[in-house]
C-alpha cells in the first residue's frame, strides 16, 4: 500500500479492516464495525482518533465492546424507555476495553497506532490486521453467548441478565455477592468515619452512601424478580 499522506493511510487501514471483517458478519458505520452473534451478543470495534492529531500525523486506537440486546432492550434496564440502537455506540456497551487490555497480562498497555506522511502506512496496516486476528477476533470468539458476559459486567448487570436467561438461582448468587460486597463497604466506611480527622480538602467518610446503595439494590432485585437471599 502506498499512500501520500496520513489521512489516506488511515482511510486505507479502515478499508482493509472492512475487507477482513465483512465476511465475518460485521457491518460498517463510519470507522466502526459491529456484528451480532447467533446467540444474541453484540460485538463492537470502535475506532478512536487521538485528540493530538495534526495534518502530518494521525494516531488512533480501538475500543472493543460487547452488548446484549436481550437484557438491554428490557424496559426495566432503561427506565427512560431507550432501546439499544441497531448499531450501538461505545457507551451503549455493557462492557468495553481498549485493545491494549486484550494483550497478555504482562504486556498490557494503552496501545495506539500512528500513520504519518512518511509513507509508513503499510507497516501499520500489517500491525492492525495482526492485532485484530490475534487479539480481537479470539476475544469475540470467547464471548458469543450471553452467559459468557457474566465475568465481565459486574454482579448487578449479571443478576439482571441471569433473570432474562431464566437462571433464577444464578441471579440470586450474583445478588448475594453484590449485597455482601456493599455490606463490607458500609462497614469499612463506618470504621473510617469513627477515626476520621479532617485533613485538606478531602470529603469525610459517608456510610450513608452504602446504606442507600443497599436499599437501591434491594429495589432493583425486587423489580427484576430475583429470589430473596
pLDDT per residue as tens digits for the range 118-151: 766 778 989 999 999 999 999 999 999 999 999 9
* 3-state SS, residue 22: helix
pLDDT at 191: 96
- Of 6 and 66, which is predicted with more confidence? 66
Which residues have CB under 8 Å from 146's CB, separation 6+?
Answer: 39, 40, 41, 68, 70, 71, 161, 164, 165
**pLDDT (tens digit, 9 = 90+) per residue, 19-64?**
999 999 999 999 999 999 999 999 999 999 999 888 889 999 999 9
More confident residue, 1 or 95: 95
With a CB cutoff of 8 Å and minimum separation 6, the contacts of 166 are: none
Decide: residue 169, CB within 10 A, 0-12 exposed, 13-18 middle, 19+ buried. exposed
Question: To which H or E segment does residue 57 belong?
Answer: strand 57-67
> Could you read off the pLDDT of 60-109 as tens digits, one per residue?
999 999 999 999 999 999 866 678 999 999 999 999 999 999 999 999 99
pTM: 0.91
Amino acid at each position: 500500500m502506498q499512500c501520500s499522506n496520513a489521512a489516506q493511510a488511515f482511510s486505507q487501514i479502515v478499508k482493509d479492516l472492512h475487507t477482513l471483517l465483512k465476511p465475518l458478519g460485521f457491518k460498517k458505520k463510519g470507522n466502526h464495525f459491529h456484528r451480532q452473534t447467533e446467540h444474541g451478543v453484540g460485538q463492537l470495534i470502535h475506532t478512536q482518533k487521538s485528540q493530538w492529531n495534526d495534518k502530518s500525523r494521525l494516531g488512533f486506537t480501538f475500543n472493543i465492546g460487547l452488548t446484549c440486546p436481550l437484557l438491554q432492550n428490557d424496559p426495566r434496564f432503561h427506565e427512560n424507555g431507550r432501546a439499544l440502537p441497531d448499531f450501538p455506540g461505545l457507551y451503549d456497551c455493557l462492557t468495553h476495553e481498549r485493545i491494549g487490555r486484550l494483550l497478555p497480562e504482562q504486556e498490557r498497555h494503552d496501545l495506539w497506532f500512528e500513520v504519518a506522511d512518511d509513507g509508513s502506512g503499510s507497516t501499520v496496516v500489517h500491525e492492525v490486521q495482526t492485532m485484530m486476528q490475534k487479539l480481537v477476533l479470539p476475544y469475540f470468539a470467547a464471548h458469543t453467548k450471553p452467559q459468557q458476559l457474566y465475568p465481565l459486567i459486574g454482579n448487578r448487570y449479571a443478576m439482571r441478565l441471569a433473570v432474562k436467561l431464566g437462571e433464577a438461582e444464578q441471579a440470586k448468587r450474583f445478588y448475594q455477592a453484590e449485597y455482601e460486597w456493599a455490606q463490607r463497604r458500609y462497614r469499612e466506611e463506618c470504621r473510617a468515619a469513627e477515626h476520621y480527622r479532617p485533613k485538606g480538602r478531602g470529603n469525610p467518610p459517608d456510610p450513608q452512601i452504602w446504606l442507600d446503595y443497599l436499599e437501591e439494590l434491594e429495589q432493583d432485585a425486587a423489580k427484576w424478580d430475583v429470589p430473596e437471599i
